[in-house]
């Protein structure tokens, strides 16, 4: 063990280590909160001055981080937000929680990770632990980040320490929170692994050390590819069974009675969130280096990304049967978040559904109790709408109401009573009605 690792270990044990979290979004901010509740001091770094100013005023912009909690931490001077990255030099631990999106051709966009790494390299000093939490392909930490961080002559595993620990955030999950989800950790060297495990041992119920950063990177991809493939399977079965006159929801319910060998997945209008629609393509990209085509993974992606078009086509067919054209029809989308009872709209299929309807000339509105405004999405720059009040009159005047997200706040029987046509993509309305179609 190097002198630097021993010193950092002591700071972590005593909770005297300063924690710097870069990226204050749905991953970074809950992590900040967890470190603070466990007695660490934290500075959150972000390039967005609106986020920085909001947090320093004690105003949270993420639903499950309360303003009251935030103000208590600010009052104790245990936390502040900053846009001055020169402050990274004072941190003992630096955790990267920045986006890893896809470009227009579904290739990995590591610009946020590598740009952040270059900023860290400018301020890197001996005795610091750098951890990447952003999902990426195997080799990012040791092949892409390490050369940048080592360019000033600091030795990895002796002067500074490098690790990967995939985020496993699940917004809206009432059973598991940031601190109760087991934490996978992989280090560049044995000392790196020991330190990253020690750090997360202070805040997590359980850590799961693996042999390398590459294994840790692969773990997150496996988790999300598993979900992507199974969601695609059940979405395809939904379409097939519909043509056979079979209710996929009844099939899943009955199959779930088997106590072994089956895990239920549920169909929908597509998939959303930052992880599942994006992560599989990171492995697809990296697999090209070992000359292996990822046909299975790519096919799942194709099926899932087609589902919003399936919903639109089902709506158009239903309107045609009622003698209406989609052009100039009033379409009301219920639920903009990518899943129930959260405010996260990243990669939400509802965005694609609204965009396609608008392209076809429909007059589109949406309601979501958690999302007041829909704007600023990189893939949908033309979308700029505000959530409209959900009233009986609005339902009656809508030509089609699309249940895109099954928020528990909605009274679905009331919606079905007042809307002339409901396209239910989530099986939210269990009772069969003439004006309700499943999609």
User: Catalytic positions, please?
Assistant: 275
How many CB atoms are closer than 10 A to CB 147? 11
Contacts 24+ apart (CB under 8 A), 203-210: 203/34, 203/35, 203/38, 203/40, 203/179, 204/179, 204/180, 205/179, 205/180, 206/182, 207/182, 207/183, 208/182, 208/183, 208/184, 209/184, 209/185, 210/184, 210/185, 210/186
CB 297 within 8 A of CB 280: yes
Question: How far is residue 163's CA from residue 182's CA, in Å, rounded to a whole number?
Answer: 16
CB-based burial label for 77 (10 Å; 0-12, 13-18, 19+): exposed
CB 156 within 8 A of CB 149: yes
Strands 161-164 and 183-187: antiparallel
Say how many residues make up the chain. 439
CB 96 within 8 A of CB 128: no
């Amino acid at each position: 063990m190097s002198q630097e690792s021993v010193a950092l270990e002591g700071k972590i044990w005593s909770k005297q280590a300063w924690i710097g979290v870069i990226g204050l979004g749905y991953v970074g901010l809950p992590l900040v909160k967890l470190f603070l509740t466990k007695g660490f001091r934290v500075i959150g770094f972000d390039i967005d001055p609106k986020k920085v100013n909001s947090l320093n005023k004690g105003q949270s912009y993420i639903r499950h981080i309360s303003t009251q909690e935030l103000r208590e931490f600010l009052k104790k001077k245990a936390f502040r937000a900053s846009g001055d990255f020169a402050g990274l030099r004072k941190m003992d631990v630096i955790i990267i929680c920045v986006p890893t999106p896809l470009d227009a051709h579904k290739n990995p966009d590591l610009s946020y990770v590598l740009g952040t790494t270059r900023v860290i390299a400018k301020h890197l000093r001996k005795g610091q632990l750098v951890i990447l939490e952003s999902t990426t392909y195997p080799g990012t930490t040791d092949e892409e980040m390490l050369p940048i961080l080592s360019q000033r002559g600091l030795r990895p595993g002796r002067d500074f320490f490098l690790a990967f620990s995939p985020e496993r955030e699940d917004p809206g999950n009432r059973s598991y929170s940031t601190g109760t989800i087991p934490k996978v950790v992989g280090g560049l060297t044995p000392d790196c692994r020991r330190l990253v495990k020690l750090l997360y041992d202070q805040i997590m119920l359980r850590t799961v050390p693996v042999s390398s950063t590459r294994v840790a990177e692969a773990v997150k991809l496996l988790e999300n590819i598993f979900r992507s493939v199974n969601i695609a399977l059940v979405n395809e079965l939904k379409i097939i069974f519909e043509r056979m006159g079979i209710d996929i929801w009844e099939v899943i319910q009955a199959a779930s009675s088997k106590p072994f060998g089956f895990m239920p997945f549920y169909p929908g209008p597509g998939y959303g969130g930052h992880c599942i629609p994006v992560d599989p393509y990171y492995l697809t990209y990296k697999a090209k280096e070992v000359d292996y085509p990822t046909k299975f993974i790519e096919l799942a992606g194709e099926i899932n990304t087609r589902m919003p078009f399936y919903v639109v086509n089902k709506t158009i067919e239903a309107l045609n049967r009622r003698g209406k054209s989609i052009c100039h029809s009033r379409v009301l989308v219920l639920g903009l978040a990518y899943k129930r009872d959260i405010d996260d709209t990243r990669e939400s299929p509802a965005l694609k559904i609204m965009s396609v309807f608008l392209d076809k000339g429909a007059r589109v509105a949406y309601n979501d109790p958690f999302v007041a405004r829909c704007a600023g999405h990189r893939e949908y720059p033309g979308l700029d709408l505000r959530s409209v009040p959900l009233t009986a009159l609005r339902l009656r005047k809508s030509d089609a109401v699309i249940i895109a997200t099954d928020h528990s706040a909605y009274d679905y029987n009331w919606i079905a009573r007042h809307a002339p046509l409901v396209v239910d993509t989530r099986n939210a309305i269990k009772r069969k009605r003439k004006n309700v179609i499943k999609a």
